[in-house]
């Protein structure tokens, strides 16, 4: 009987820990997949992409990068064309692409 009384609180704690992990989710969803996403505004944060990786994400999204990319304020940015239109493209630390 004493064994059962000791086991119940231990099992209850295991159940609470597991449910807390599934409910909380991720507080910092960085790049989850390789697909580039278009967003209205870039996310602020330190960018760990290399220039080649940033160029690859722009190319994958259909942009032709026409200039050297520079990193400013955590954003990779440069001149690019898509559909005959010239624009400035930016890549944030999450891998999201924005244009101006």
Domain count, the chain: 1
Give the separation between CA 22 and CA 60, rounded to whole angstroms: 33
Reported pTM: 0.61
| 24 domain-assigned | no
Give the separation between CA 45 and CA 35, rounded to whole angstroms: 20
| 13 domain-assigned | no
| 95 domain-assigned | yes
H/E stretch holding 36 reads none
pLDDT for 51 equals 96
- Tokens standing for 12? 């209850």
pLDDT tens per residue, range 49-76: 999 999 999 999 999 999 899 999 999 9
Give the separation between CA 53 and CA 34, rounded to whole angstroms: 11
| 3 domain-assigned | no
Give the separation between CA 81 and CA 59, rounded to whole angstroms: 10
């Amino acid at each position: 009987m004493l064994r059962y009384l000791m086991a119940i609180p231990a099992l209850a704690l295991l159940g609470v820990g597991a449910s807390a992990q599934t409910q909380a989710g991720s507080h910092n969803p960085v790049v989850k997949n390789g697909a580039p996403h278009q967003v209205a505004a870039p996310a602020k944060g330190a960018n760990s992409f290399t220039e080649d990786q940033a160029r690859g994400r722009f190319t994958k999204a259909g942009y032709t990068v026409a200039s050297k990319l520079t990193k400013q304020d955590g954003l990779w940015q440069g001149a690019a064309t898509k559909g005959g239109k010239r624009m400035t493209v930016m890549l944030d630390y999450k891998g999201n692409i924005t244009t101006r």
